[in-house]
């Protein structure tokens, strides 16, 4: 039996210098911006004005200044961008816990929503009776535990029966989303005096504090990124997660209890995503809706991969994608660019950024010309 050598093969690079990797990423970003400018120009719009409006729409004329109340705060545009960044950053940190272990948790969206549902129950039923400090504490715990338990479900099936976690976690997203739709029609959750399918706004006592005009979650997100970096690089549990991700057999030979590590790690992964849900309802939105997660559970996957699972780099990439999302909304208003075109622009930029990560880690090997047509015996 014979077979021909494939015309092209993908081979993992042994090592690439950091300076070269940075250069590749910069070139990819420039290429993405040029490709985006070409797209917009073909549609009949001014690319320079488009990028200018995207930046001003995401950051504002002044990033931080004294507002009308005489208080130092981020600009209105910056506040909106920072809220998007906070949700993306925390969710990507949660997903990275699982991804480091090669557990493909695509259920971040559902874990955010279940965390939000759990703490929303406390806010709606006890918001007017409990003291503020107790209310926030219990809401925080409910969000983390709810998200953690929801992440634990696919982990149990994976550890016990080897089920496919990708499909399992994906399907759980839709269960959580439709459960919120169900809650919108429940009288105890609806706005008082109406049957309109909308969950009531939370009492002011359920809201967390703010710093510079944005809920305190953005500071917690930055601290959490540092803590997670130290967790992976300095702790025994973080090392176990990495070893399990590299090889479960190696982990078993080293005496590690693999099922226990999978369960523990997925609970933490879901808990972090559930914490993001808590911040959304208690900080950003003040209520629970089907848009609470806003697709962050899926976008955070991109953030995690772009950063190479590095929690510190996730700060940069989550900010970058938040600026893109906020900026794309801006150009739809100021320039009349269709939403489909704005989405294509974001897609092009992310395609270039993800593509360069592939070529940093892998290289293409082509079949030599002289070997064309030759056969190799097996």
pLDDT in tens for each of the 378 residues of the chain?
A: 555 667 777 787 777 788 888 898 899 999 999 999 999 999 999 999 999 999 888 887 777 777 666 677 887 888 899 999 999 999 999 999 999 999 999 999 999 999 999 999 999 999 889 999 999 999 999 999 999 999 999 999 999 898 999 999 999 999 999 999 999 999 899 888 777 889 999 999 999 999 988 999 999 999 999 999 999 999 999 999 999 999 989 999 999 999 999 999 999 999 999 999 999 999 989 999 999 999 999 999 999 999 989 999 999 999 999 999 999 999 998 899 999 999 999 999 999 998 888 888 877 777 776 554 444 333
Q: Indicate whether 226 belongs to any domain.
A: yes
Q: β-strand 362-366 against 375-377: which pairing, if any?
A: unpaired
Task: Give how many domains the chain has, as a whole number.
Answer: 1
**Four-residue CA torsion sign, 281, 176, 97, 140:** positive
In contact, 288 and 183? CB cutoff 8 Å: yes
In contact, 8 and 363? CB cutoff 8 Å: no
Q: Indicate whether 327 belongs to any domain.
A: no
Q: Indicate whether 291 belongs to any domain.
A: yes
What is the domain extent for residue 275?
Answer: 76-311
Q: Indicate whether 209 belongs to any domain.
A: yes
368: tokens are 């030599």
CA dihedral 65, 67, 72, 77 (to 10 degrees): -60
Q: Indicate whether 27 belongs to any domain.
A: no
How many Cβ atoms from other residues are within 10 Å of residue 376's Cβ? 9
Q: Indicate whether 98 belongs to any domain.
A: yes
With tokens 């995503």, the residue in question is 273
Q: Indicate whether 29 belongs to any domain.
A: no
Q: How far apart are CA 272 and CA 88, in angstroms?
A: 12
Q: Indicate whether 126 belongs to any domain.
A: yes
In contact, 261 and 244? CB cutoff 8 Å: yes
Measured at the CA of 369, the angle between CA 366 and CA 373, to 5 degrees, comes to 100
Q: For 201, phi and psi rounded to 5 degrees?
A: -70, 150
In contact, 330 and 53? CB cutoff 8 Å: yes
> Taking the model in full, what pTM does it have?
0.90
Of 223, 211, 250, nearest in space to 79 by CA = 211
């Amino acid at each position: 039996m014979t077979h021909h050598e494939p015309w092209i093969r993908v081979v993992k690079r042994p090592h690439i210098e950091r300076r070269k990797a940075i250069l590749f990423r910069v070139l990819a970003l420039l290429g993405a911006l040029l490709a985006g400018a070409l797209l917009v120009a073909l549609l009949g719009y001014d690319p320079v004005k488009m990028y200018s409006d995207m930046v001003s729409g995401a950051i504002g004329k002044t990033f931080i200044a004294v507002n009308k109340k005489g208080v130092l705060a981020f600009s209105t545009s910056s506040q909106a961008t920072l809220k998007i960044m906070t949700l993306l950053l925390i969710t990507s940190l949660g997903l990275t816990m699982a991804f480091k272990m090669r557990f493909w948790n695509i259920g971040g969206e559902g874990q955010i929503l279940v965390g939000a549902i759990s703490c929303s129950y406390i806010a709606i039923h006890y918001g007017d009776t409990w003291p503020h400090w107790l209310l926030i504490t219990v809401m925080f715990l409910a969000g983390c535990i709810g998200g953690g338990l929801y992440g634990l479900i696919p982990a149990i099936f994976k550890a016990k029966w080897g089920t496919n976690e990708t499909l399992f976690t994906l399907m759980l997203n839709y269960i959580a989303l439709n459960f919120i739709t169900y809650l919108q029609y429940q009288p105890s959750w609806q706005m008082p005096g109406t049957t309109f399918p909308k969950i009531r706004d939370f009492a002011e006592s359920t809201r967390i504090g703010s710093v510079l005009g944005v809920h305190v979650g953005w500071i917690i997100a930055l601290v959490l990124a540092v803590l997670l970096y130290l967790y992976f690089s300095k702790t025994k549990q973080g090392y176990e997660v990495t070893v399990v991700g590299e090889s479960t057999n190696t982990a078993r030979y080293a005496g590690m209890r693999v099922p226990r590590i999978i369960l523990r790690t997925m609970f933490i992964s879901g808990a972090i995503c559930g914490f993001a849900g808590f911040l959304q309802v208690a900080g950003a939105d003040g209520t629970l809706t089907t848009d609470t997660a806003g697709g962050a559970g899926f976008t955070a996957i991109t953030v995690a991969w772009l950063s190479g699972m590095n929690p510190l780099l996730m700060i940069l990439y989550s900010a970058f994608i938040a600026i893109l999302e906020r900026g794309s909304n801006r150009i739809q208003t100021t320039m009349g660019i269709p939403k489909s075109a704005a989405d294509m622009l974001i897609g092009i930029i992310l395609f270039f950024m993800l593509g360069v990560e592939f070529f940093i880690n892998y290289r293409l090997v082509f079949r030599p010309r002289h070997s064309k047509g030759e056969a190799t015996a097996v």
